[in-house]
Amino acid sequence: MDKILVGLKRVVDYNVRVQVKSDGSGVETDGVKMSINPFDEIALEEALRIRERGDASEVIVVSIGTAEAQQQLRTGLAMGADRAILVETSDAIDALSGARVFKEIVDREGADMVILGKQAIDDDNSQTGQMLAAIWGRPQATFASEVVLDGDKAKVTREVDVGLETIEIDLPAVITVDLRLNEPRYVKLPDIMKAKKKPLDQIPLGDLGVTPGPAVNAVEFAPPEARQRGITVDDVAGLVSALKDKGLV
C-alpha cells in the first residue's frame, strides 16, 4: 500500500463545557479550546501503526475549514503524519460536501485507504465515511475496533449493537474507527518542533469543484433542559408511591 488518507476535524475540545450563543445561532467558540476530533486521533494513530509495520509508505492528514485548522494539522504532523492538506473554506461543510472533498483529494493523491473517525463530537452525524465510500465506489468498514491487513484485503472487526462482527473487504477502501481500536500516542515537544518543517499544502475549496454549504440548515440551537432535583423517600413503600404518582408503575 502506498498512501493512507486520514481526516482531522477541528472541534471544541471534549473537556470543554459547551455553551450555546445567546442568540441561539450556534455554539460559542470564541476563546474556547479547540482540538482534533477524538475519533480522528484514533484514526490517525491506526494509520501510523500501519505505516510503522511497513504496510504503507505515507500518511497524509486532511482537514476542511479556515486557516485556524492548521493547528490541528500540525498536531497530526507531530504525531507522525508525513504531509498535511488544508482545504480552505469559511463556509459550513456538511457530511456530503465533506465526502466530496475527500473524494477529490483521494483522486489527486491516489490514496489506497481512507481512515476516518466514526463520527465528529460536534454534530455526531456518522455519515461522511459512508458517503465517501458510496461516491468512491469502494468497500467500507465502519465502527472498527480492530484492523488487520493482508495484502490487498483488510479484515475488520466492527462494533455493532449485538456485539462484534468481523468482515473482510478489498482495498482500496474506507474505514471508520471506534474508541476501542487503539490509544493515540502522546505528542512530545521535539515532535512538535519537527512538525513545523513538514509540508502543509493549502487548497481553496473552489479549486476542487465542490459547492460549499450544507443541504440541511440548523435553524436554532438550545441547551438541554436543566435536570430536575431528585427526591428522597423513607422506605420501599414510599418509593412505590412516588413511582405511581409519576405514572411509572
Q: Let me know: does 63 contact 6? Beta carbons within 8 Å.
A: no
Q: Let me know: does 7 contact 118? Beta carbons within 8 Å.
A: no
Helix %, strand %, coil % of the chain (to 5): 30, 30, 40
- Taking all residues of the chain, what is their mean pLDDT, rounded to a whole number? 92
Return the SS3 of 5: strand
pTM of the model: 0.85
Buried/exposed 65-91: b ≥16 CB within 10 Å, e otherwise: beeebbebbbbbbbbbbbbbbbbbbee
Which pLDDT score, from 0 to 100, does residue 1 have? 81
Give residue limits of the domains in the chain: 3-245
What is the pairing mode between strands 140-150 and 153-160?
antiparallel
d(CA 206, CA 213): 12
Return the SS3 of 131: helix
Q: What share of the chain in percent tops pLDDT 90?
A: 69
Q: Let me know: does 38 contact 175? Beta carbons within 8 Å.
A: no
Which pLDDT score, from 0 to 100, does residue 247 have? 86
Residue tagged 408503575 (cell numbers): 249
Length of the chain: 249
Which pLDDT score, from 0 to 100, does residue 48 have? 97
CATH 3.40.50.620, applies to 3-245: yes
Given a cut of 80, is residue 25 above it in pLDDT? Answer: no
d(CA 119, CA 126): 4
Query: Which residue type is seen at 173?
Result: A
pLDDT in tens, 175-219: 999 999 999 999 999 999 999 999 999 999 989 988 876 667 778
